[in-house]
Structure 1
Amino acid sequence: MQSESLDAVVVTASRSAQKAGDVLADHLVITEEEIQESGQTSLADLMQTKRSIEIKRNGGAGNDTEVYIRGGNGKQTLLLIDGVRSVSSTSGTAMWSAIPLSQIERVEIVMGPLSSLYGADAVGGVIQIFTKKGSGEPRLTFSAGAGTDRERVYTAGISGSIEGEHRIRYALNASQEESEGFSARPARARNPSTGTVSNYDPDKDGYSKRSLSGQFSWEIAKGHELGATFMNSYNNADTDEGSGVQVFKPYIVSEVDVYSVHSRNQITTNWSSLLQVSRSYTRQQNFRSLTPSVNNSTQDQLSWQNDIVIGRDLLQVLLERREESVFNTAQTLQNRSRDNNSFALAYQANRGDHQISSSVRNDDSSVYGSNLTGGLGYGYRLTKEWRVNGSVATSFRAPTYNDLYYAYAGNPTYGNPDAKPEKGKNAEIGVHYDDGRSNFSAVYYHNEITDMLSAKPCTGGAPGSCTYNVDKALLTGVSMEAGSKFGNYRLYGSLDLQDPRDKTTNTLIQRRAKYHGTIGLKHTAGALKSGFDVVFSGYRYDEPEHVNRLGGYALLNLHASYDLNSDWQIFGRWNNALDKQYEFARAFQTQGSNVFVGVRYGFK
């Protein structure tokens, strides 16, 4: 957690480049330097150290993972990859375990609802991943590392730019990851309410991941650029399913593809345009039996954003169309499709020490109708270092294909074609301090979510469970962080005090703690950089209505790197150094003490 420069640029909070010191939305940025310093190989492990973020994972780094922002659920977190939505249309969540950390240049996390800018699912927040880009002289990069459980990671890349009247930028990066893993369901993983071991399977659950990403842009004339980006990642992860003698080892194949082309044009001195055509594709094949299940979803999107400078202000006009389709081996989910047309306006005003941001958006779906959302923010700079912010916003989460159409007679569980979107209303206020050496922030939020989709007994005497808009949730809390530099040391920490509550039952939402945070220290001594962080969390409940308590935990992580020369660097990290046993989900083991060491070339 580094003190973010007030001159650093943040894009996600307003869909336009802003200096970090001018961003009204609560946010944080993970830079490429921070990714390298951490020594982490998993995006989820890195994000777990950040404020407002909690994760859930069923086993090791290759297994099913969810990311929660401010106590919201995984379906209320919107993931963007280079500006493109990457969320499964059936499950409603992103495939976090398939995303390669080695391909990432920067991560921007905006806490709080942003449906008035991005539409559906931006209820708890938005996470945008920026893959690596090229600039400057041609550069070759390479890294290799190995660690506990026979983990091995290899990366290679080339990037650069050809300067001139028609500048060309390019980047191509590839990576291979694999691990023998550990048993996600060991013998000690027993259900305390029954005393039985659910799906006990003592063998190791490894994974392998192959990833490729690239970017290309060409300035065809001054102020006019054509470009393309892509990312493909394929993850094959063992899973523990069933018990007793198995015919073969069950595994799940996950794939994430993102493709886009764009035209960026400076039409006049005060009018810039970005036209983007994109496709996002997620695929999951579950080989738990001799007849595997298939779950594919495709989202095609056309987006046209216009930024118009009016004096010191900025007006944004946005038009979007998104077409979704799915294929699933479940009979009721085969060849389903829907589309969504959107129109949005946003305005940013600056008047001395006063800042105002406002936005309104309408999303018109062919399935669940029209949804209007809005946001209004205000900031006042008390001094050069101190600022106070406040905002109100509405949001919505669209019902997934599973919510609408899923049918599984063996359970039995059924979707509801009449399901409507969940609705959110958020208000927050915060104070921020940054003098370039020390920083502090505290934000209080109050996010009320109604019409939450939940499985309840079917009405009309039908057997099983059906999906209904019946639940309510109230997410409140204070998110704080602070840091300061002392000579060659930097001390930092964060603390979230929250009450994510199911208002229908007046109980804590499952797998959310009432507090969590991080404290850490970094030190630089010439070519040597080192540090540690302690990630801690309070107890949680694995099931609704306070069933199956999961104990709290504190994890000690160490990291270090040493520059051999201007091109070569050796690095290492030691996660869970004290070998703490803990769980994100009942009966799923997490990794014990583990180390990773490696070497890098050309990353300066």
Structure 2
Amino acid sequence: MNFVHRSTAAGLQRRRVRALAAIPVAIGGLSAATLALAQPNTGSLPETVVTATRTQQRLSDAVADISVIDRATIERSGAEGVADVLAKVQGIQIARTGGQGNTTSVYLRGAESRFTAVFIDGVRVDSQATGGATWESIPLSQIDRIEIVRGPAAAVYGSDAMGGVIQLFTRKGEGVAAPYVGVGVGSRSTYKAEAGVSGASGGFDYSLGVSRDQSDGFDVRTPNVVHNPDKDDYRNTAGNVRLGFQINPNQRIEGTLLQSNLNSGYDDFGYDPSAPVDDRNKYRLRTGGLNWTSQWTDIWRTKLAVTDSSSRYETEPNFYKTETQTRGYLFQNEFRMGPHLITADLERREDQLQNAPGVGFFASPGIDRERSQNALALGYGFSQGAHTLQLNARHDDDSEFGGKNTGSAAYGYAFSPAWRATASAGTSFRAPTLYQRFSEYGVSGLEPEEGTNYEASLRWTPQPSSSLSLTAYHNKVKNLINFDTTSTACQSFFGCYANVGRAVYEGVTLAGTQRIGDWSLRGSIDWQDPRDVDTDKLLVQRARVYSSVGADVRVGTWVLGAEVVASGKRYADPANTQVLAGYGLLNLTASTPLADGLTLLARIDNATDKDYHLVRNYATAGRSFYVGLKWAPKL
């Protein structure tokens, strides 16, 4: 199926099917244990992550295939959205119908966007209408750090984590009060402004931030399609608050809140030149969480968390409105005894979908449905000397379809200080969305999509500034939910959702980084074969090869950077008859401190003004310029 705009897809859901596909955007290299586009961490404290096992661990001890992106990397990238940052990470491709503010999908190792579990400060973000996070609504300006786990993690997180997990973190207050202010301008009347402050005092830590992004954009449709030829602009206003209090050395409470409001233009089907309209997307994303962590004894630690997210989407003047609310409760237990770590988690997830009734010729009934999942998850980790072992098992009991068991096992062996090999296997699932089950196209008896994954990796890290990794994976999914136009199992004469698909996502990733004097080099290449098992055709909008090479060099006070990203050809239809040509893009960056705490950043994207297409019948930006100033004094 062709990848289409989310708002257009909403209408097509009422008519035929929400189309899902991927479009590769070539990525920048990250080794499995290094930072992308950033200098290696050479400080005294080792880099730690929490997403792989839901517990804090050293990145070097993790058996999972993990990447970390810090705030400095985000700022130097000059990227406009979260997906643009992720598109520079090995094993990740993105898709977008036009410019910023339009439907965006993120694909880990070629897997469907809905197969990635997404969290903001531990709060799950999902849509029970389309499936998966609404990436276009997540404000990059409020994100301080990103952790990416490639490969299924359902034995830790439950439903959704079939392709991987991406967790985004906002800034945490530390030290004395640290204010920041940033402004920037770019092509197509792009303007950005942000401000905030963070700090800590007397056991209390805080972080607050606000931002505003806007642009006139460009016409997102190609000339061969009848549409409104206006510029499709966007404007986003966002803010977040993160507050924490250390009650005593063993007790801490923390609260987080984030909200983003996005208004963007798109071009719907059925355009009438005699009566032009300005089609608008309206997104509101809100996340909130309250956490209490306690160290009861030397070996026993607990975390109690209550989280809530709301993802609302509507269009005008062609009205469509949907809202998903996801609430979570987590009681997490950690028992650390020397090299052993035992975890036991009780978790509850509640989803609610509200769809307003459709209007006009394609009128549809409204939806007001909810479901819940209760889970018990157990884990065992061992790390000592050259050996690392991670075992996880989980049972989810869904209020609609019953129980589901998942498990995973991973082992790592460092056969020298520089060389380490890992291997893992795991199962995963994703429960059908409430829309897939209860809309006019829905079938209440749909089964969960199920996956089985195997992978192996070899990493060479002769020194902190050098790394090379080779990872191979094979992820097979059955009960894939597709739209079956021949089915009569629902009330729609257009067809119904059905468990009729099977797919295999397999491939090999080679990635590396190298520091030579003032030069920092990076690169990655992905060979993949995401394929429909039943037709033996490549999945829509996925290239078999995509890569990136980049370099940064320090010249005096300046840091100059260049990257070349490339993608092979893709197919725009399931029959593999409509070809989207491959492409290569050149991006340039430059940054320098101007005064104490004041930094200048300049970026040119698509420097050669390459004419290319990510999605059939949708345009992409040409050459783009951006210049920004940020004041963040070091106190």
Q: What's the TM-score once normalised by structure 1's chain length?
A: 0.95
**Are 1:40 and 1:573, in contact at CA under 8 Å, matched by a contact in 2?**
no
Deviates more, 1:345-354 or 1:144-153: 345-354
C-alpha deviations, 1:102-147, integer Å up to 9, x for none? Answer: 1111001110000000111101111100011110010110000000
SS at match of 1:35: helix
1:346 to 363, 370, 379: 379
Matched, 1:268 2:304: no
Distance 1:321 1:418, change over 3 A: same
Q: State how far apart, in whole Å, the 2-side matches of 1:226 and 1:463 are.
A: 53
SS, match of residue 229 in structure 2: coil
Counterpart position of 2:183: 144
* Contact kept? 2:239, 2:259, Cα under 8 Å: yes
Q: Specify which structure has the higher proportion of strand.
A: 1
Residue 540 in 1 paired to residue 579 in 2? no
- Offset of residue 525 of structure 1: 2.9
Runs of 4+ in 1 over 6 A off after TM superposition: none
Residue 101 of structure 1 corresponds to: 140
| 329-338 or 568-577, which deviates more | 329-338
C-alpha distance in 2 between matches for 1:589 and 1:457 = 29
Taking structure 2 as the reference length, the TM-score comes to: 0.90
The equivalent residue for 2:124 is: 85
Q: Which of 566, 579, 591 is matched with 2:609 structurally?
A: 579
1:5–1:20 contact (8 Å) kept in structure 2: no
Distance 1:471 1:490 in 2: 44
Alpha-carbon distance in 1 for matches of 2:76, 2:292: 35
In the alignment, structure 1 residue 376 sits paired with structure 2 residue 412 = no
1:183-223 per-residue CA deviation (whole Å, 9 max, x = no partner) reads: 00131xx3xxxxxx2x4221100000000011000111221
CA deviations over 1:145-167 (Å, ceiling 9, x no partner) = 0000101010000110003xxx1
Amino acid at match of 2:302: S
Give the C-alpha shift of residue 367 in structure 1: 1.2
Return the match for 2:306 from 244, 261, 277: 277
**CA deviation vs aligned residue, 1:271-326 (integer Å, no higher than 9, x gap):** 1111010101000011142xx21100101111111111122110011111111111
Deviation, structure 1 residue 603: 6.3
Q: CA deviation at 1:593?
A: 0.4
Preserved contact between residue 39 and residue 520 of structure 2 (Cα < 8 Å): no
Instruction: Supply the AA of the counterpart residue of 1:32.
Output: R
- Picking from 210, 218, 232, the partner of 1:205 is 232
Q: Distance in 1 between matches of 2:426 and 2:366?
A: 33
Seen in structure 2, the aligned counterparts of structure 1 residues 423 and 41 have a Cα distance that, compared at 3 Å, is: same
Equivalent residue, structure 2, for 1:286: 315
Counterparts of 1:38-437 in structure 2 under 5 Å? 38-163=77-202, 167-187=203-223, 190=224, 197=225, 199-241=226-268, 242-245=270-273, 246-289=275-318, 292-330=319-357, 332-407=365-440, 414-434=441-461, 435-437=463-465
Q: Deviations over 1:249-270 (max 9, x none)?
A: 1101011110011111111111
Q: Secondary structure at the match of 2:444?
A: coil
CA contact (8 A) 1:283 1:295 kept: yes
Q: Would you say the 8 A contact 1:106–1:130 is kept in 2? A: yes
SS of the residue corresponding to residue 400 of structure 2 reads coil
Instruction: Show CA shifts across 1:511-555 (max 9, x none).
Output: 111011110001123421110111111111122121421111111
Check 1:333–1:116 CA distance in 2 against 1; reply closer, same or farther (3 A cut).
farther
**Distance in 2 between residues matched to 1:460 and 1:137, nearest whole Å:** 64
User: Is the CA contact (8 Å cut-off) linking 2:409 and 2:426 kept in structure 1?
Assistant: yes
| Structure 2 unpaired stretches of 5+ | 1-35, 358-363
1:565 matched to 2:595? The reply is yes
Query: Alignment partner of 1:377: what SS?
Result: strand
Amino acid in structure 2 at the alignment position of 1:359: N
Structure 2 residue 510 is the aligned partner of structure 1 residue 487:
no
Match of 1:442 in 2: 470
Give distance in 1, aligned partners of 2:39 and 2:474: 26
Indicate conservation of the 8 Å contact 1:3/1:438, yes or no.
no
Q: Quote the Cα distance in structure 2 between the aligned partners of 1:75 and 1:312.
A: 35
Q: 2 CA distance for matches of 1:296 and 1:591?
A: 30
For residues 508-547 of structure 1, the aligned pairs below 5 Å read 508-547=538-577
In 1, the alpha carbon distance for the partners of 2:57 and 2:573 equals 41
Aligned length: 584
SS in 1 for 2:529: strand
Q: Which amino acid aligns with 1:448?
A: K
- Helix, strand or coil at the partner of 1:177: strand
Shift of 1:19: 1.1
Equivalent position amino acid for 2:250 in 1: G
Q: What is the letter of the counterpart of residue 298 of structure 2? A: T
Structure-1 residue corresponding to 2:16? none
Q: Determine if contact 2:367/2:439 at 8 Å carries over to the other structure.
A: no
Counterpart residue number, 1:20: 59
Deviates more, 1:460-469 or 1:324-333: 460-469
- One-letter code of the match for 2:280? Y
Is 1:398–1:420's contact at 8 Å kept on the other side of the alignment? yes
**8 Å Cα contact 1:318-1:344 kept in structure 2:** yes
Amino acid in structure 1 at the alignment position of 2:627:
V
**What displacement does 1:98 show?**
1.2
User: What CA deviation, in whole Å up to 9, does each residue of 1:326-375 have, x standing for no partner?
Assistant: 11014555221111101100110124211100000111111122111000
Partner of 2:22: none
- Displacement of 1:4 after TM fit? 5.0
CA contact (8 A) 1:49 1:517 kept: no
The code of the aligned residue for 2:438 comes to Y
Distance in 1, Cα, partners of 2:49 & 2:321: 38
Sequence identity (%): 34
The equivalent residue for 1:451 is 479
Instruction: Name the counterpart of 2:3.
Output: none
How has the CA–CA distance of structure 1 residues 3 and 137 changed in structure 2, closer, same or farther, with 3 Å as cutoff? closer
CA distance in 2, matches of 1:109, 1:470: 30
Letter in structure 2 aligned against 1:598: G
Worse-matched range after superposition: 313-322 or 546-555: 546-555
Question: 8 Å contact 1:483–1:490 — kept in the other structure?
Answer: yes
- Mean Cα displacement is larger for which, 521-530 or 177-186? 521-530
Q: In the alignment, which of 582, 591, 598 is matched to residue 621 of structure 2?
A: 591
Q: Measure the CA separation in 2 of the matches of 1:298 and 1:333.
A: 16
Secondary structure, counterpart of 1:231 in structure 2: strand
Letter in 1 for 2:383: N
Q: 2:488·2:495 contact (CA, 8 Å) conserved in 1?
A: no
The one-letter amino acid of 1:177's match is: D
| 1:243 shift after superposition | 2.0
Q: Confirm or deny: 8 A CA contact 1:3 1:439 kept in the other structure.
A: no
Residues 228 and 276 in structure 2, CA contact (< 8 A), matched pair in contact too: no
Higher RCO, Cα 8 Å, sep 6+: 2
Give me the CA root mean square deviation. 1.4
